[in-house]
Amino acid sequence: MQSVPEESLPPVSGTCLVTGGAGFVGSHLVASLLQLGAEVTVMDNFSYGSRHRMESMAKGHEERLHLLSGSLESLEDCVEACQDIHTVFHYASTGNSPSSFEEPFSSCQANVEGSLNLLWAAWKQGVHKFVQASSSSVYGDDSSIPMVEDRTGRPQSPYALSRYVAELYGDLFWRKYHLPTITLRYFNVYGPGQLWAEQGPAVVTCMLSYLLQGQSPPIYGNGEQSRDFVYIDDAVSANFLAAASRRGGVYNVGSGERYTINEIYEECLSVLKNLGQKIIAPPPHYLPQRFGEVNHGLAHMGRASQELGYKPTITMSEGLHRTASWLLSLSQDERDLIYAHYLDAIATPWGREANE
Helix, strand, or coil (residue 271):
helix
Name the burial class of residue 304, with classes exposed (0-12), middle (13-18) and buried (19+) by CB atoms within 10 angstroms of its CB.
buried
Phi and psi for 203 in degrees, rounded to 5? -55, -55
DSSP conformation class of 16 = E
- How many Å apart are CA 68 and CA 66, to the nearest integer? 6
Beta strand pairing call for 226-227 and 259-260: antiparallel
Q: How far apart are the first and last CA of the chain?
A: 40
**In terms of residues, how long is the chain?**
356
- d(C-alpha 199, C-alpha 95), whole Å: 9
What does the angle CA 153 – CA 155 – CA 159 come to, to the nearest 5 degrees?
155
Does an H or E element contain 68, and which?
strand 65-68
Identify which of 290, 19, 253 has the alpha carbon closest to the alpha carbon of residue 159.
290
DSSP conformational letter for 67 = E
Give the Cα separation of 252 and 298 in Å (integer).
10
Instruction: Say what angle helices 261-274 and 316-329 make with each other, to 10 degrees.
Output: 60
Q: Are the CB atoms for 169 and 90 separated by under 8 Å?
A: no
| CB-CB contact of 107 with 96 (8 Å) | no
Residue type, 170: G
The full DSSP string for 199-213 is TEE-HHHHHHHHHHT
Q: List, by residue number, the catalytic residues.
A: 159
Q: How far is it, in rounded angstroms, from Cα 32 to Cα 17?
A: 13
Instruction: Report d(CA 65, CA 53) in Å as an integer.
Output: 13
